[in-house]
Structure 1
Amino acid sequence: MLDRIAGFFRLIGRTIARFARIFFAWAFWPFIAARGWYVQRTWMVRLPILGFLGLLAVLYCYFIWQTQVWSGFNPSFVNEYRLSERKVPAGQELPTTDGSATKTCQRSAIVDVAADLTDFNVNQNAWISSMLLYRLGFFGIDWDHTPFLDNKASFQRGVNQAVRRTSVELVDTLGRVRGTSGINNDLQRARGNLQFDEYSWYFGLDPFGPKTPTPSYYRSALESLRKFNADLAACNAIFDGRADNLIQFVDRIANDLGSTSDVLADRSQNHHRGWFDTRADDRFWFAYGQLYAYYAILAAAQSDFSQVVAERNLGAIFSATTRQFQAALQIQPAIISNGREDGWIMPSHLATMGFYILRVRSNLVEIRSVLDR
């Protein structure tokens, strides 16, 4: 009996080894064939090829480094703003303490956060989605369809999605008095630049020719956001902190998170292949990036609309929403698994993230309901 069991496991081992040899033979035969061709060439041919391979190796080392090192990543970075110390809503005149006649107004925490998130994406880190090697993919396969080197890119796009949505609301409602003032030019430029394609490199095929890369547009948006806040601090711009504007802002964020929750649910229910679902990681980290950004943006909104929050007694609901964000951002698995929700071997990280998104969204709906009374 023991001999049969041992024989069974030896058979499994031999089968695995056989398939491993076949796989490596299939994967490496082009390189072996290329080596055979290379050693038969003269040095006039070898040297350019060697230089190209050396350049490619340097580029890949840089690319791998940029995808694996997340500079400035801190799920608790909201604490650095000390929002609880702000006693005046955004756009309102600050009391003078030194007898100065110069009038100053409160900056917008929402704009500060949106600018800092953009700075985090394109200055503190390289914007992965428009890098040449990311565009080329893994032997022609889109990196998003592989289980590696795409997590940071998906996270950055999730952050950018939240900043884009915020920029739209800043232009349409928050940065102007509707019906009595025009659109702020700085916010308008920021919105336009943030909507730019996330995948543009210095050269493209559609249309064919040189292009301005994505990070340049986002850096221009960053400058426009900073300029708006400088004007706001000098009382030369408008931040309309009315309750109906907060209602619309919260509503748009809830809808955005609801859409992401639907994407997670679809992937979780229809592609539950556990650790072998190569798209689960980019879905997870896109959602994580959204929550990372919206956590800070909503905390900033509580400060910018502090008068409305106090009048409607929304402090407790905002605090509950903050706790939901913090709980969601603690989920940072090394490997993303999209297992069945009733499975017992492979976890379902997408279902877990979707659950936290729905809890956050539920609190946002409650905030909107209170404001709408």
Structure 2
Amino acid sequence: MLDPIVEFFTRVFHWIGRGIGMVIAWILWPFVAAGRWYTRRGWIIRGSVGLAVLAIVGFYGYFIWQTQVWTNFDPDYVEKYKLQERGVSAGEQTAGTQGGETRTCGRSAIVDLTADLTDFNVNQNAWISSMLLYKLGFFFVLDWDDTPFLDNKASFQRGINQGVRRSAIELVDALGRVRGTSQIDRDLQNARGALTFDEETWYFGLSPFGPKTPTPSFYRSAIRDLRKFNDRLVSCEAVFDARADNLIQYLDRIANDLGSTSDLLRQRSENYNGGWFDTRADDRFWFAYGQLYAYYGLLRAAGADFEDVIKQRSLGSLWATTEQQFRAALNITPFIISNGREDGWVMPTHLATMGFYILRARSNLVELRQVLDR
């Protein structure tokens, strides 16, 4: 009585197995054909082809290694600066001789963090976005950002760079000069120009055609200019205008930047519900994470640079709470980014979670701004 049922399932599994076998054979056919061609060639051709294959494997191996190893990644990286022990605002004179010939002023933590975050991106790690294999994409067909792998570090680095660029702009326009009538600092201006350079330039390009200076070289020059400015600031040869209105403007810029990112997360979360299969969700998530990673350190640095302003306005408790909100967001590091439905119970929605933390941090920044503006 059960024989027809058994026979039916036997046929079903037979055809399933046959179909899987045909798919595997179709996938392996080019490699089998290439292997047959290779074995029939002379030793010169085989040696040349072997070296080429070895070079490609090594090239991809290096690329995969660089995308998966995040050297010196540490959400608590700012602790090594011991900013709470400084006790002096940026640009404030701390020592001087009786004749006034030798003076010492407070170093800017914002400038230090801006330089060191860029150093983290391009010296301690390879800058992924301008690597040749990243630009070529997945087998020359798909952009790596459209795949679920090997693009998280690039998005994270671009998020950090977004925060660094914003800080460099504010340093030139407001923080590194006395109000709007003084001269723009040349080192800061050079650093801003370098940091706003295109993120994806390799040694050679097609538009325009010819050799080019790669992106990391520009960012490294920005590091040198930023550190040169800070050295001059310590010697009281440069200016850091640690006024309340400058701090308000800096907080405004950060809040606006985070507001834009929260909207980016919202659009992806509302319009796509692919769960673990949304290949662009990880890009959005790690870009936002990189921004928060940078702004957490820069906010801590601003607290040190504007120490006197914070004390005068009795902002210590609120400032500490804001820093804690940024740090709490950095605890979200899922192994696989999922963009499920907000009311779903199988696949989580990491984009909505990150957006929630960003809005919490942003609301604290807005509150800080309101207190400062009273």
2:362 alignment partner in structure 1: 361
User: Retained in 1: the 8 A contact 2:156–2:289?
Assistant: yes
Q: What whole-Å deviation, never above 9, does each CA across 1:150-179 have from its counterpart, x for those lacking one? A: 111111110011000100000000000123
Q: Label 1:33 to 1:246 Cα distance change in 2 as closer, same or farther (>3 A).
A: same
| Amino acid in structure 1 at the alignment position of 2:75 | P
Following the alignment from structure 1 to structure 2, what is the Cα–Cα distance between the partners of residues 45 and 182?
A: 65
Deviation at 1:327, TM superposition (A): 1.1
Q: Label 1:187 to 1:23 Cα distance change in 2 as closer, same or farther (>3 A).
A: farther
Name structure 1 gaps, 5 residues minimum.
none
| Amino acid in structure 2 at the alignment position of 1:300 | A
1:308 alignment partner in structure 2: 309
1:34 alignment partner in structure 2: 34
Residue 372 (str. 1) matches residue 373 (str. 2):
yes
Deviation at 1:37, TM superposition (A): 2.9
| Amino acid in structure 2 at the alignment position of 1:336 | I
Deviation at 1:227, TM superposition (A): 0.2
1:160 alignment partner in structure 2: 161
| Amino acid in structure 1 at the alignment position of 2:57 | A
1:126 alignment partner in structure 2: 126
Following the alignment from structure 1 to structure 2, what is the Cα–Cα distance between the partners of residues 15 and 281?
A: 37
Moved more, 262-271 or 44-53: 44-53
1:282 alignment partner in structure 2: 283
Q: What whole-Å deviation, never above 9, does each CA across 1:315-348 have from its counterpart, x for those lacking one? A: 1111111111111100111111111111101111
Moved more, 76-85 or 230-239: 76-85
Residue 271 (str. 1) matches residue 272 (str. 2):
yes
1:201 alignment partner in structure 2: 202
Following the alignment from structure 1 to structure 2, what is the Cα–Cα distance between the partners of residues 154 and 21?
A: 38
Provide the aligned length of Structure 1 versus Structure 2: 372
Q: TM-score, normalised by structure 2?
A: 0.93
Following the alignment from structure 2 to structure 1, what is the Cα–Cα distance between the partners of residues 268 and 14?
A: 35
User: Retained in 1: the 8 A contact 2:188–2:226?
Assistant: yes
Q: TM-score, normalised by structure 1?
A: 0.93
1:104 alignment partner in structure 2: 104
1:58 alignment partner in structure 2: 58
2:222 alignment partner in structure 1: 221
2:48 alignment partner in structure 1: 48
Name structure 2 gaps, 5 residues minimum.
none
Q: Label 1:262 to 1:8 Cα distance change in 2 as closer, same or farther (>3 A).
A: farther
User: Retained in 1: the 8 A contact 2:174–2:180?
Assistant: no
Following the alignment from structure 2 to structure 1, what is the Cα–Cα distance between the partners of residues 290 and 12?
A: 42
For 1:231-310, list aligned pairs within 5 A: 231-310=232-311
Q: What whole-Å deviation, never above 9, does each CA across 1:12-50 have from its counterpart, x for those lacking one? A: 977876665455444433323332333333333222221
Following the alignment from structure 1 to structure 2, what is the Cα–Cα distance between the partners of residues 274 and 336?
A: 8
Following the alignment from structure 1 to structure 2, what is the Cα–Cα distance between the partners of residues 84 and 323?
A: 15
Deviation at 1:119, TM superposition (A): 0.6
Following the alignment from structure 1 to structure 2, what is the Cα–Cα distance between the partners of residues 7 and 310?
A: 83
Q: What whole-Å deviation, never above 9, does each CA across 1:259-305 have from its counterpart, x for those lacking one? A: 11111111111111000011111111111000000000011001101
Following the alignment from structure 1 to structure 2, what is the Cα–Cα distance between the partners of residues 73 and 329?
A: 11
User: Retained in 1: the 8 A contact 2:156–2:287?
Assistant: yes
